[in-house]
Amino acid sequence: MSETEINNTDNQLQLIPLVGLSKQEIIKILSDIGLEAKTARMRANQLWNWVYVNGVSDFDLMSNIAKDFKQTLKQYFYISRPKVVSEQISNDGTRKWLFRFFDENRPEIAPVDVETVYIPEKTRGTLCVSSQVGCTLTCSFCHTGTQKLVRNLTSEEILSQILMAKQLLGDFPNLSRPNNGLIPDENRRAITNIVMMGMGEPLYNFDNVKQALLIASDGDGLSLSKRRITLSTSGVVPFIEKAGSEIGVMLAISLHAVSDDLRNELIPINKKWPIKDLLDACRNYPGLSNARRITFEYVMLKGVNDSDEDAKELVRLLANIPSKINLIPFNPWPNSPYECSDWETIERFGDIVNKAGYASPIRTPRGRDIDAACGQLKSKSERAKKTKNR
Ligand code: SAH
Ligand code: SF4
């Protein structure tokens, strides 16, 4: 069958989002509608190139695809971008967007609002991406933890945060950079690094996060090196090994306490998987070496976990794991139950960690003035109420 003879005459067929489909999935759909294997492969390559390399979100702009076949594609697929509900720019150049995902092809799915943060530095730009709306976990120091899980984000929605940010930052061919903020110059990519550190626990949305990150790191996709993608987890032990072998990105662990008593209080998931189990899983993380270390995050909470003894115990616990330590000054949110440790205390803690061989362990807070810093994200989306007439 030629491409122009193919027609989706069944009006009941649901359109499929193109963003987030692997090449294999696109090839399968195109083959199922009658394209020969070789043509289907060629078309899948072209579609990926338009979507991920050129950032195109309109089939009509795909200049190497004939008009008739564009019509066919539109009968099976769609490409959408989230609505930008708001953009805030911090005085340090950090940007926080509130993206609204609403799938007009599936009106039965309630719209959700998602926060995505861009952190520019001189030579790199990091995008902090969300994996869920809200979180099932209730870490006591985290604002997202006060928002019930609304739902997992799809692979399309995870990737679309990156695509939309690239579009807004002029990070696709033929777009120009916005002239406010401290975005790296036009000779560099605006987004060089991805951290899965926005809203939600990525390992509780494993399949969608995996699919999105494999496309982000594919040389034909967004082409970001796996060494520049970091997945942060509160410690979902059974998925750690799987994350290493199936996704292969850098791992960050939200440790935050050196005793189970305290960690149970801060990160309740510790009751299920205590520190020993967590560190055992880290030791077995596939690909772990001195060149590919695990980052251990440690939020500095005044009078709670910030003593010299805590610092020494931290260094002792991590002694035989290739690791980096990242001390995060606590970022407050309305009515948060903790205070950030004094700067002197953070520096003293940092010195102990530093003397043990960990370079520059203190993370500079970014975007605090617009509530864009770690742990400050929370959207107003709520879980859809069950209606009687459903
Ligand atoms: N759910 C994942 C990833 C999202 S949170 C996780 O917990 O790892 C990203 C990082 O921000 C985690 O290390 C988290 O512990 C930290 N964080 C949460 N709330 C914070 C706050 N108020 N101040 C500083 N860091 C915080
Ligand atoms: Fe969820 Fe991470 Fe916040 Fe804990 S710290 S509530 S796991 S987003």
Q: Domain residue spans in the chain?
A: 3-78, 83-389
201 lines ligand 2 (CB under 6 A): yes
Whether 152 and 208 have beta carbons less than 8 Å apart is answered as yes
What mean pLDDT, rounded, does the chain reach? 92
The catalytic residue positions are 115, 374
Residue 8 predicted with pLDDT over 60: no
Gap between the terminal Cα atoms of the chain: 42
Closest ligand 1 atom to 135 CA: 1
235 lines ligand 2 (CB under 6 A): no
Residue 312 predicted with pLDDT over 80: yes
Burial letters for 97-130: b for 16+ Cβ neighbours within 10 Å, e otherwise?
A: bbbebebeeeeeeeebbbbbbbbbbeeebbbbbb
Entry pTM? 0.94
Which pLDDT score is estimated for 187? 77
330 lines ligand 1 (CB under 6 A): yes
Residue 388 predicted with pLDDT over 50: no
254 lines ligand 1 (CB under 6 A): yes
Burial letters for 297-334: b for 16+ Cβ neighbours within 10 Å, e otherwise?
A: bbbbbeebbbeeebbeebbebbeebebbbbbbbbbbbe
Residue of the CA atom closest to atom 17 of ligand 1: 375
Residue type at position 361: P
Across 1-10, 96-105, 208-217, 232-241, least confident range: 1-10
Q: What is the pLDDT of residues 366-376, one digit of tens each?
A: 898 898 888 78
Q: Which of 254, 263, 266, 368 to mutate to test the pocket of ligand 1 (most atoms within 8 A of CB)?
A: 254
CATH of domain 83-389: 3.20.20.70
Residue 11 predicted with pLDDT over 80: no
Q: Which residue has the tokens 């043509």?
A: 39
Q: What is the pLDDT of residues 329-342, one digit of tens each?
A: 999 988 999 999 99
What sign for the dihedral angle of Cα 146, 151, 154, 157? negative
Closest ligand 2 atom to 375 CA: 3
Specify the fold of 3-78. DNA polymerase; domain 1 (1.10.150)
Residue 387 predicted with pLDDT over 50: no
More confident residue, 29 or 380: 29
Residue 176 predicted with pLDDT over 90: no
233 lines ligand 1 (CB under 6 A): yes
Residue 160 CA to ligand 2 center (angstroms) comes to: 22
CA 315 to CA 275: how far, in whole Å? Answer: 14
Which pLDDT score is estimated for 390? 35
Q: Which of 129, 132, 133, 139 to mutate to test the pocket of ligand 2 (most atoms within 8 A of CB)?
A: 139
Which pLDDT score is estimated for 4? 52
Residue type at position 200: G
Residue 59 CA to ligand 1 center (angstroms) comes to: 39
CA 260 to CA 330: how far, in whole Å? Answer: 20
142 lines ligand 1 (CB under 6 A): yes
